[in-house]
Structure 1
Amino acid sequence: MSRRLAGRIRSQGALSVAEYMAACLFDPAEGVYTRADPLGRAGHFTTAPEISQMFGELLGLWAGACWQEQGSPSRCLLVELGPGRGTLMADALRALALLPSFLEAAEVVLVEASPVLRAAQQRVLAGHEVRWAETLDDLPEAPVFLLANEFFDALPIRQYVRTPEGWAERRIGQDDQERLQWGLGPRLPGSPPGLTPAKLAAPYGALVEACTAGETIAGEIGRRLRGSGGAALLIDYGYHPSAPGETLQALSGHRTVDPLAEPGTADLTAHVDFEALAAAASGAVAHGPVGQGALLQALGIDARAEALKAKATPQQAADVESALARLTAPDQMGRLFKALALTAEGAPVPPGFPV
């Protein structure tokens, strides 16, 4: 990957951060998400569904409750963006056995680009009727109940620096030894696209980030909700309100590393700007964001944990308690991870969000 990027920079010039992220994560031959499974102990990071079954169960029941509150349409879509190994959806479908009428109405669709992860999802979801799609554009028009956990953080971002002479895009070039290095492109003729008012007002010298890919997807979700109804639940680590600052990070083997070191071997992510995401879902009503811990507790995770511990061995009960703390504690995932819900105008406020 390093050699290929060096050749690309020699022939085309310095890369934007978005171009660099796309190459490192999604290159068909050497991308982090296309070459191997990035999840779990042997991968680069662990997501909430892999920590405990409680997470996927509660999100599945959240979707089912939204379906009921919106009149139980006879045909709908249960969609997950970036479904990892399929663990979340497997847990959601098991919990939704409590609501068989929803399962009868719902077509389950996983939006997944990675062939490695698709294969894992097929194994985990064997026995369930599921289909896969490349993008949201591939889905039919119908009420959509959509889940996206740690999806938006992996989408490529662009970075800009406000200089006294104007805005310039941060780019990745190379030195005389073809080592990757940071630099700035030429001054832009105007303001960068996709920046919130808070980022446009950043002081000189400040760095800001924009995720146009994420905003485009949020816009498509909003369009579908406006036209057909449904609800979306987006959970990720991020910030609200919008603000300047760098959040790009690289994880390799669960440890933070230099984003420019050994490209293609580390997961690259950026914190989600929830204010920008909500604004991009034009026409949809945004609820929250609320902390992941607050959402899960409002959905009943404490009671679910007690039910699991009642049937568990002492070690299993301790594992449940540990998972509960990891998912909900403010100093773990409970506060940094946030949940944003989107609905059509006039739809009931989704479960777990303040009225």
Structure 2
Amino acid sequence: MTGLAGRRAYLDWNASAPLRPEARAAMRDAMEVAGNPSSVHAEGRAARALVERSRAQVAALVGCEPAEIVFTSGATEGAGLLRHLPAGHAVFVEETAHDCLWAHLDLTGVENAEGGHTLAMGLANSETGLLASPGRDDGGWIWGARRAHWLFLDAVQHAGRLPLNLHALGADFAILSAHKLGGPRGCGALFVRTGLDISPLSLGGGQETGRRSGTENVIGIAGFGAAAEAARRDIASGIWADVTNLRDSLENTLAAAVPETIFVGRGSPRLPNTSCFATPGWKGETQVMAMDLAGFAVSAGSACSSGKVRESRVLRAMGHDEETARSAIRVSLGPTTTQAEVAAFADAWLAAYEKRRVRAA
């Protein structure tokens, strides 16, 4: 390990943020509540109160009404709503969207779709951190030369890092994930704008106002709500500006030492914590393994693609060549990341680069 006296540094917040102390405490307290949220007795009402408090906390983070939040097992389950749209309703998926949306791409029969169209896109890209702004005119939402009636947003990486108001954006649907903002893994939410009717994600006892049956994950939901409230405070405090400074100092250091390195989206609106960079000819997975051995957790592409030796679909969609797409890694920071960790990572990465350069000479 380099520069941290044997301690590892976690620089993969976009894959999963460390569990917040507030979420841990809320989950511990929820474990003591015995009731089922659907039961009418006192214990059941106590469990229901935890769920509804968390619903309000999540809604406050993303600028919507609590009744518009449906708790799920995660963002991928929420994206499954795209399978439940009315018959004949075509789905347009933005090229750089996360795989949980991309899996629902369906351009078959689009020109003759009877029920309308939905544009599915990410607000912030998980690999590059680049922010997207959905376009709109009198004809609806704009995707290339097409128009869509409904807007389905992947807000997973955006929520908890930048101010977010789903109503102001005009979203019809959106997906969220607790563990990206310091809540527990295996818990998420689907936003459904008031007035829209959807087929249930799952059938059964009619929980979540009939939209997602199954006994609620009270412990996970409690952690989600506490994490959302803490994340909202962090945004208000301006702490993410400090994270941006750390990210920029890392990129400046690496760029000065290795000028051929490509920093994706540098100078464009991005998440405050994300740096995606490629040194053509140096495979991303090789870099990730070298950094892991040196004591740093980083990734190549989104976490859902880790372990798969392939070029980045996102970078290819952005117009980068195959070599660059295979050479990219992502470093993602958080409010608890320190300058010492960032400096130590830079030293370790540059040492690995120099070792590779000498071998190739």
Would the TM-score normalized by the shorter structure come out above 0.5? no
Q: TM-score, normalization: structure 2? A: 0.27
Please identify which structure carries the higher strand content: 1
TM-score under structure 1 length normalisation: 0.27
